[in-house]
Structure 1
Amino acid sequence: MELISQVLVLEPTSQVLGKEPIVPFAILLVVILVIPIMFERLRLPGLVGLVFSGLVLGPSGWNLFQSDSPMINLLSDIGLIYLLFVAGLEIDLEQFRRKTSRAFGFASFTFSVPLVMGTLVGLILGYGWNTSILIGSLFASYTLLAYPIISRLGVINNEAVSVTIGATIFTNIGAVLILAICVAVAHAEVFSFAKLLTLSGWLVIYSVAVVTGFDWAGKEFFKRSGDEEGNKFLFVLLSVFLAAVGAQLIGVEKIVGAFLAGLAVNEAVGEGPVKEKVVFIGSVLFIPIFFVDLGLLIDLPAFVNNLNTLKLTLLIVVGLIVSKLIAALLTKLVYRYKWQEMLTMWSLSLPQVGTTLAATLVGYQSGLLPVEVLHSVIVLMLVTSTLGPLITSRIAVGLNSPPADEDSAPPLVEENASETDNAFTIVVPIYNPQTQQYLIEMAALLARQSHGKIIPLAIATAAAHMDAPQLEASLQRSEWLLNKATKQSRALGVGAEPMLRIDDAFAQGISRAAREQKANLIVMGWGKRTGLRARLFGNVIDGVLWASHCPVAVTRLVESPKKIQRILVPIENLTAPTLQPVQFAQMLAEANQSHITVLNVCDRRTSSSKIAWRRSHLSLLVSKLALANAPEIQIIAHENVAQAILQAARLYDLVILPFIRNRTSPGGLAISDVTTQLARQLTCSIIMLGEPQRTQTTNLIMSTTVSSITSAV
Structure 2
Amino acid sequence: MLLAGLTEIVLPLKNPVLQFSLILFIILFVPFFFKRLRIPSLISLIIAGAVVGPHGMNLMLRDSSIVLFGTVGLLYIMFLAGLEIDVADFKKNSGKSILFGLYTFLISQLLGIFVALYFLHFSLLSSVLIGSIFASHTLIVYPVVSRLGIAKDKAVNIAVGGTMITDTLALLVLAVIAGSSDGELSSVFWIRLVIGIMVFSLIVLLLFPVLTRWFFKRFDDSVLQYLFVLGMVFLAAFLAEAAGVEPIIGAFLGGLALNRLIAHTSPLMNRIRFVGDAIFIPFFLIGVGMLIDFRAFFKDVATIRVALVITVAATLAKYVSAWITQKIYGFSLDQRRLIFGLISAHAAVALATVLIGYNIVTGYTLDGTPVRLLDESVLNGTILFILVTCTLATIVGEKGAQNIAAAETGDFRAGEGLKVSAERILIPMNDIKTVEELVNLGVTIKSRQNLDGLFALHVADSAVSGGPVEKHAEKVLEKAVMTAASTDNQLTGLFRYDSSVANGIAGVVREQKITDLILGLHHKTSLADSFLGSLSEELLVACNVTTFIYKPAQPLATIRRTIAVIPQGAESEEGFLLWIDRLSSMVDNTGSKLLFYGSPQTLGYLKEHHGTRFPNSEYKIFRNLDDFSGLAKEIRADDNLVVVMSRRNHRSWHSRMSKIPGYLGRYFERNSFILIYPVQTGGEEELIEFPEIRLPKRIQFSVVPVRSQMEKVLKRIPLKKISFRRNPPE
Q: CA deviation at 1:148?
A: 6.7
Aligned equivalents of 2:468 and 2:232: distance in 1? 39
Distance 1:75 1:511 in 2: 45
1:380 aligns with 2:356: no
- SS of the aligned residue for 1:54 comes to helix
- 2:258 aligned partner: 265
The structure 2 residue matched to 1:89, chosen from 83, 94, 97, is 83
Change in 2 beyond 3 A, CA 1:258/1:16: same
In the alignment, which of 281, 287, 291 is matched to residue 281 of structure 2? 287
Q: Pick the aligned partner of 1:36 from 17, 31, 34.
A: 31
Q: Which of 213, 222, 228 is residue 220 of structure 1 equivalent to? A: 213
CA deviation digits over 1:424-473, x for unaligned, max 9? 99435699xxxxxxxxxxxxxxxxxxxxxx9983399xxxxxxxxx9888
Could you tell me which of 271, 277, 284 is aligned with 1:277?
A: 271
Residues 381-433 of structure 1: per-residue CA shift (max 9 Å, x gap): 11221123336667998999999xxx9999899xxxxxxxxxx99435699xx
Answering whether residue 356 of structure 2 is matched by residue 363 of structure 1, we say: no
TM-score (norm 2): 0.53
Q: Which amino acid aligns with 1:274?
A: L
Distance 1:425 1:46 in 2: 36
Shift in Å at residue 171 of structure 1?
2.6
Distance in 1, matches of 2:476 and 2:277, equals 43
1:175 aligned residue (136, 152, 167):
167
Worse-matched range after superposition: 178-187 or 290-299: 178-187
Cα distance in 1 for partners of 2:244, 2:142 equals 35
Specify whether residues 172 and 232 from structure 1 end up closer, same or farther in structure 2 by C-alpha distance, changes over 3 A only: same
Task: Note if 1:48 corresponds to 2:40.
Answer: no
Distance (whole Å) between structure 2 residues aligned to residue 60 and residue 27 of structure 1: 17
SS at 1:182's partner residue? helix
In the TM superposition, residue 242 of structure 1 has moved relative to its aligned partner by: 1.5
Secondary structure of the equivalent of 1:60? coil
- Deviations 1:593-628 (Å, cap 9, x if unpaired)? xxxxxxxxxxxxxxxxxxxxxxxxxxxx9xxxxxxx
Q: In structure 2, do the counterparts of structure 1 residues 457 and 343 end up closer, same or farther at CA, with 3 Å as the change threshold?
A: closer
- Contact 1:210–1:264 (CA<8 Å) still a contact in 2? no
- Paired with 2:197 and 2:80, the residues of 1 have a C-alpha distance of 21
Residue identity matched to 2:87: L
- Residues 136 and 267 (structure 1), Cα distance of their counterparts in 2 relative to 1, 3 Å cut: farther
CA distance in 1, matches of 2:312, 2:243: 36
CA distance in 2, matches of 1:42, 1:145: 19
User: Matches of 2:42 and 2:475 in 1, distance apart?
Assistant: 49
RMSD between superposed Cα atoms in Å: 5.3
Q: Does the residue aligned with 1:373 lie in a helix, a strand or coil? A: helix
2: distance between equivalents of 1:202 and 1:492? 61
| 1:63 to partner: Cα distance | 0.7
Q: CA deviation at 1:236?
A: 1.0
User: What are the Cα deviations for residues 96-128 of structure 1, in whole angstroms up to 9, with x where unaligned?
Assistant: 233343444334333322232233333342445
CA distance 1:61–1:486, change in 2 (3 Å): farther
For 1:49 and 1:307, locate their aligned partners in 2 and report how far apart those are by CA, in whole Å: 27
The answer for the alignment partner of 1:98 in structure 2 is: 92
Residue 57 (structure 1) shift: 0.7
| CA distance in structure 1 between the partners assigned to 2:282 and 2:429 by the alignment | 39
> How far apart are the structure 2 equivalents of 1:268 and 1:342?
32
Q: Aligned partners of 1:9 and 1:143: how far apart in 2? A: 43
Counterpart for residue 186 of structure 1: 178
What residue identity is the alignment partner of 2:458? A
What is the 5 A alignment of 1:634-649? Answer: none
Code of the aligned partner of 1:60: H
> Does the Cα contact within 8 Å between 2:141 and 2:341 map onto a contact in 1?
yes
TM-score by length of 1: 0.54
The answer to whether the 8 A contact 2:83-2:255 is kept is yes
CA distance in 2, matches of 1:291, 1:81: 12
Cα deviation for residue 238 of structure 1 reads: 1.0
Counterpart of 1:484 in structure 2 is: 497
1:216 is matched by which residue type in structure 2? P
The answer to whether the 8 A contact 1:142-1:350 is kept is no
- Cα shift readout 1:170-190 (whole Å, capped 9, x = no counterpart): 332331343155146416621
Match of 2:302 in 1: 308
Distance 1:496 1:100, change over 3 A: closer
Q: Is the 8 A contact 1:210 1:261 kept in 2?
A: no
Say whether the 8 Å CA contact 2:40–2:395 is kept in structure 1. Answer: yes
Match of 2:341 among 351, 367, 370: 351
State whether residues 159 and 343 of structure 2, in contact with CA within 8 Å, keep that contact through their aligned partners in structure 1: no
Query: SS of the residue aligned with 2:249?
Result: helix
Indicate if the aligned counterparts of 2:49 and 2:288 stay in contact, CA closer than 8 A: yes
SS in 1 for 2:347: helix
CA distance in 1, matches of 2:455, 2:29: 46
- Aligned to 1:14, the other structure's residue is in SS state coil
State how far apart, in whole Å, the 2-side matches of 1:292 and 1:511 are: 49
Partner of 1:458: 458
The change in CA–CA distance for 1:343 and 1:207 in structure 2 (over 3 A counts) is farther
Q: Is the 8 A contact 1:115 1:139 kept in 2?
A: yes
Contact 2:200 2:240 in 1 (8 A): no
Equivalent residue letter for 2:168: V
**Partner of 1:233: helix, strand, or coil?**
helix
Partner of 2:58: 63
Q: By how many angstroms is 1:476 displaced?
A: 8.1
199, 204, 210: which one aligns with 2:197:
204
Q: Runs of 5+ in structure 2 lacking a partner?
A: 359-373, 432-453, 461-466, 478-493, 511-516, 524-531, 549-554, 560-576, 583-608, 610-673, 675-730
Residues 352/473 of structure 1: CA separation in 2 closer, same or farther (3 Å cut) = closer
The 3-state SS of whatever aligns with 1:36 is helix
1:76–1:287 contact (8 Å) kept in structure 2: yes
Q: Does 1:246 align with 2:239?
A: yes
Check conservation: 1:113, 1:323, Cα contact below 8 A: yes
CA distance in 2, matches of 1:545, 1:351: 32
Asked if the contact 1:215/1:268 (under 8 Å) is kept, the reply is: no
- Select which of 327, 345, 350 maps to 2:321: 327
Identity of aligned residues (%): 25
- Looking at structure 2, the residues matched to 261 and 83 of structure 1 have their Cα atoms a distance apart, in angstroms, of 12
Contact 1:303 1:310 in 2 (8 A): yes
Q: Deviations over 1:315-351 (max 9, x none)?
A: 233223322333344446655x3xxx36444322222
Count, aligned residues: 468
**Aligned equivalents of 1:493 and 1:510: distance in 2?**
13
Question: Which letter maps to 1:360?
Answer: A
Contact persistence 2:76–2:280 (CA under 8 A): yes
Question: Counterpart of 1:457 in structure 2: which amino acid?
Answer: L
Q: Where in structure 2 are the equivalents of 1:149-160 lying within 5 Å?
A: none
Whether contact under 8 Å (1:352, 1:380) holds in the other structure is no
SS in 1 for 2:457: strand
Contact 1:84 / 1:258 at 8 angstroms: preserved in 2?
Answer: yes
SS state at 2:95 partner = helix
Larger relative contact order (Cα-Cα within 8 Å, sequence gap ≥ 6)? 1
| Cα shift at 1:260 | 2.6
Instruction: Give the letter for the 2:457 counterpart.
Output: L
More displaced, 312-321 or 393-402?
A: 393-402
Give the 3-state SS of the residue equivalent to 2:31 in structure 1: helix
Deviations 1:518-564 (A, max 9, x none): 995799xxxxxxxxxxxxxxxxxxx99999xxxxxxxxxxxxxxxxx
DSSP-derived class of the 2:21 partner: helix
Change (3 A) 1:115 1:347: farther
Question: What are the superposed Cα offsets for residues 116-156 of structure 1, whole Å, 9 maximum, x if unpaired?
Answer: 223333334244555544443444446484897899799x9
Letter in 1 for 2:252: F
